[in-house]
Amino acid sequence: MTDDPFRSPAPWRHQFDHARDPYAARNALGITGTGGGTPGPAGPAGPAGPTGPAGSTGATGTTGPAGPAGPTGATGATGPAGATGATGPPGADGASSATPPQGRLTLQTATPVMTTTQSAKTTIYYTPVGNKVPLYDGTSMAMTTFAELSNVTTASSTGKAGPAAVAASSCYDLFVWNDAGTVRLTRGPAWTNDTTRSAGTALVRVAGLLLNNASITNGPAASRGTYVGTVRSNASSQLDWITAGSGSGGVALLLSVWNSYNRVNISARTSDTADHTVSSGAWTTGGTPNTNITFVDGLGEDAFAADYSTAIYSATAFGLAGVGFDGAVNSNAIHQWTPASEPGPMIGKLEMQAMGAHTVAAMEYSLGATFLGNLGLSVTSFSSGLSFRHRM
């Protein structure tokens, strides 16, 4: 009987049509027996099917935290040298970079600063306190190495010591220069007098340093010698460095060497140990004739100081003490006086600048007072004296 499409199917039909496997279809038809033997074992798994196509790439995840820094790598090889840069602007005059000379004039070898008496000397030394001296070559100052140099005062052409041997009581400038590779110490001509350089001894300043302005016989050409100091000879054409002395009437002292560079403070004192009476009624050195100090200064840049200390004893006469300069009481000096009614110690002072060779001396004024060497006592705890201080 053909199904009528307008009629509902029988229940079994519905179950049969919707069966998902043979067993369910069989049951829908009312077949309950199993039929046949027991099911056989499962067959082997079939081969794997081909790999399906790759899925699309997922979105990029967020950046994770930075890991720790790795160790420093080895230094790479040095690269090739770069091209030479353009030439810079001209530098300042090379002469301006020179440092001052590094030596001192002295009368004692290997002793730049004299501390003991040196008398009647005929050799001047230029002793290092460093080992360089600037020497001008016409363009710049060349810092030149030197060892101790010497100059014999009795020589001229020998050793290129100077134009002539040293004369008596004369001032001379000293120069260091380069004689074709040999560094020398040479004297210039004598000054015209104790306070005046001659035309042949004039100085010229180059790059802050003083040089010889004119050529020197047996010495450097003009502006080739570096000025290092000045000396003054005694009456026997010799040189002295005497800083102390005492005795009746005093002892004349001589400071005959002055340095233009590397100066040091020096002091000197001469003492009169004897009593003496002054009755001249005028300033005089007659009471203490040798209480004086002669010194030299090549430029007069530093002031010197001198003072004369003494004491008087008199019931009727006053006294004055002062310091003389080149034989006269200088108007710059300070003079001290003691009245007759109050005898006792007093002091005169002088401080000033002076170029050349000069003498400071003890000077006294009275109409009959006794100036005491040792306070009129047999002791040496006090003595009249002239003291001197300067940079030389």
- Tell me the CB-side half-sphere exposure of residue 333, using CA atoms within 13 A: 26
pTM metric for this prediction: 0.75
Three-class SS state of 297: strand
Measured between alpha carbons, how far is 169 from 273 in angstroms, rounded to an integer? 28
Residue range 313-332, pLDDT digits in tens: 887 888 899 999 999 887 66
Q: How far apart are CA 270 and CA 244, in angstroms?
A: 6
Q: Among candidates 169, 186, 168, which has minimal Cα distance to 177?
A: 186
Neighbours of 84 (CB within 10 A): 6
Where does residue 344 fall: left (phi above 0), alpha (psi -120 to 50 degrees), or beta otherwise? left
Evaluate whether 231 touches 256 at the Cβ level (below 8 Å).
yes
CB 131 within 8 A of CB 146: yes
Quick one: CA torsion of 135, 137, 143, 148, rounded to 10 degrees? -40
pLDDT tens digits, residue range 70-103? 677 687 787 687 677 665 444 444 445 579 999 9
Identify the weakest region by mean pLDDT among 51-65, 155-169, 189-203.
Answer: 51-65
| Residue boundaries of the structural domains of the chain | 99-232, 243-391
Condensed to tens digits (0 to 9), the pLDDT of residues 329-363 reads 876 677 777 787 676 788 999 999 999 999 999 99
Domain 243-391 CATH (choose: 3.30.530.20, 2.60.120.40, 3.90.45.10, 2.40.50.100): 2.60.120.40
Q: Specify which residues 348 forms β-bridges with.
A: 308
Q: How many C-beta neighbours within 10 Å does residue 102 have?
A: 18
